[in-house]
Structure 1
């Protein structure tokens, strides 16, 4: 019976030691992510096209992995907006257009003069989305 108790106690001790080492590794990873999240970067969104009804975009609010979506209805084109984002938050802009004659949308995301993402779409209803990975992560 004593041998069984000792074996169980040893197994629990090994499990606790493994958990503690795992938590230390996780803690270090969380610290690295937190450091990256504290950095900011600035991007410029550009939208062009015809009859764009709305534009949704990450404006910098919210959490890095749950950004707050901001919207503009009936924007004057061409539309540009410069925003400051945090850490691993992706840059994203999504214009939407609908026109029986043929809708057209194009979007572009730039960072320090470099194009991170560029897309276009056309048709009866068009939604052109540009999503770019944070330059801080790469």
Structure 2
């Protein structure tokens, strides 16, 4: 009888120790998960900040007949720049402009065909690789070239 009591106490003690270990393991798991989530969040935040600050250059080009206007995104002007900016005369084709953008900025150039009609083509090039090319035909039609940021 004493042996069975001792046995029961030993089993209960062992079970209590195991249960405490299991509970401690659960707490450790949660603490580790939280620390990992915080570190990953900080790493992602740093990577995104670095990505958004990374500059890259693209070249916009418009070719074809006559255009009424050309608009393009240029980070140094914080948005869209329209040609003709001064003087009111339409841009002469072929037209080309290299600009510096940052991070996820989408390179964009839009050309509007002149009133007399014809055909106009726009394109966006990054490091010798054409990202997009579009053609518009007819008076006041628009060739819109919008590309994803080439940064990975």
TM over 0.5: yes
Which one has a larger percent helix, Structure 1 or Structure 2? 2
Does 1:90 pair with 2:106?
Answer: yes
Q: How far apart are 1:28 and its partner, in Å?
A: 3.9
Q: Write the deviation string for residues 44-101 of structure 1: whole angstroms up to 9, x where unpaired.
A: 1110122201111011236xxxx511111211110000011111111110011232x4
User: Any stretches of 5+ residues in structure 2 without a counterpart?
Assistant: 1-30, 85-89
Q: Is the 8 A contact 1:44 1:81 kept in 2?
A: yes
Counterpart pick for 1:45 among 50, 60, 65 = 60
How many pairs are equivalent? 116
In the alignment, the residues of structure 1 paired with residue 56 and residue 129 of structure 2 have an alpha-carbon distance, to the nearest angstrom, of 13
Equivalent residue number for residue 82 of structure 2: 71
Q: Looking at CA atoms only, which structure, 1 or 2, has the larger radius of gyration? A: 2
Which one has a larger percent strand, Structure 1 or Structure 2? 1
Query: Normalising by the residue count of structure 1, what TM-score does the alignment of the two structures yield?
Result: 0.72
In the alignment, the residues of structure 1 paired with residue 118 and residue 141 of structure 2 have an alpha-carbon distance, to the nearest angstrom, of 6
Q: Is the 8 A contact 2:60 2:123 kept in 1?
A: yes
Counterpart pick for 1:81 among 97, 103, 106 = 97
Q: Alignment RMSD, CA only? A: 2.3
In the alignment, the residues of structure 2 paired with residue 68 and residue 30 of structure 1 have an alpha-carbon distance, to the nearest angstrom, of 25
User: Any stretches of 5+ residues in structure 1 without a counterpart?
Assistant: 1-16
